[in-house]
Amino acid sequence: MVTQNAPQAQGSSRKLLLGARGSLLSRLQSGMVAESLQKAHAGLTVELKIVTTTGDRIQDKPLHEFGGKGLFTKELEQVLLKGEADFAVHSYKDVPVTMPLVDASALVIAATPPREDPRDVLVSTVAKSIADLPQGAVVGTSSLRRAAQLLDARPDLKIEPLRGNVDTRIRKLKEGQYQAVILALAGVKRAGLFDATLMTPIGMDVLLPAAGQGALALQCRRDSSDTLNVLRAIHDHNTTVCVDMERAVVQHLGGDCHSPIAALATIDRGDVHLRVVVGTRGGKPPVVRVSGAAPLAHANNALRDVLQALDKQHARKLLEVPAA
């Protein structure tokens, strides 16, 4: 059982304080991590410390107007640096690759548990696929990555901003504010909200996910060797290999919160496959699509080939700020 801000139990062998956002999804996925750690370490107690982030407070505007997904990690990293929590659990896609909002040099991603399904999911009462949406359908998403790919496939769609927690977004759809909304399948599953009557996972050939989507990042202070050792018990090497490749793509392209970049690495029968889609700055077509593969032992070869292909197709050009 995971407790929240409970007093130190007398005689307990070890207690760790886990910094978590107050959203339903954050509390649930943090609780899952806590339970996994407690199973791996006899006598360990993990308690949640709820932290309200800037990203949680801004509910009415797209985050890319205020600093991007890093607004979900900023306060958690500050809590770690102050020693007010031992570690934090982030959705890896929220951890900035470029332009961090906090100097996190004293922090480290200590572990990455096995990845959940990285796909996006279509939530709609009128269609089971993007192709089946009515002409001119209103689709809710504030993701520039999703917008660019959706408009590339269906230029007639009307993309409207959508913020709020997973349950709030689903409620807005049911109220008729949108004919469809797009969510990360991993978050829907972790929140226990998947409903097959409303939701259909979207194929990778239609909508490629964000770098790190479906993965969790367990972060702690770099000098905390005890905490590092505890967290490593639930680390998954293959997930880290894949997420590192995806984030290397974003780094190479100099991606920021206005950059519609999708990247997914997967491992199949000893080979790693890396796919990338880059849209035009601001979330519009055209898009560039590249892919590469290599034996897992030589994963960097696949990354190298993909980066070279992106350069040949001038992907960075799509992400540049238009001249005044």
Beta-ladder partners of 16: 46
Marked catalytic residue, from 86, 94, 120, 256: 94
**Which is it for strands 87-91 and 216-221: parallel, antiparallel or unpaired?**
antiparallel
Is 94 a known active-site residue?
yes
Burial of residue 194, with CB atoms counted within 10 A of its CB: 0-12 exposed, 13-18 middle, 19 or more buried: middle
Q: Using DSSP, state whether 186 is helix, strand or coil.
A: helix
Instruction: Of 213, 31, 217, give the one whose Cα is nearest residue 108.
Output: 217
Element spanning 289, H or E: strand 284-295
239's enclosing H/E stretch is helix 237-253
The percent helix, strand, coil of the chain (3-state, each to 5) is 35, 25, 40
Q: Which residues are catalytic?
A: 94
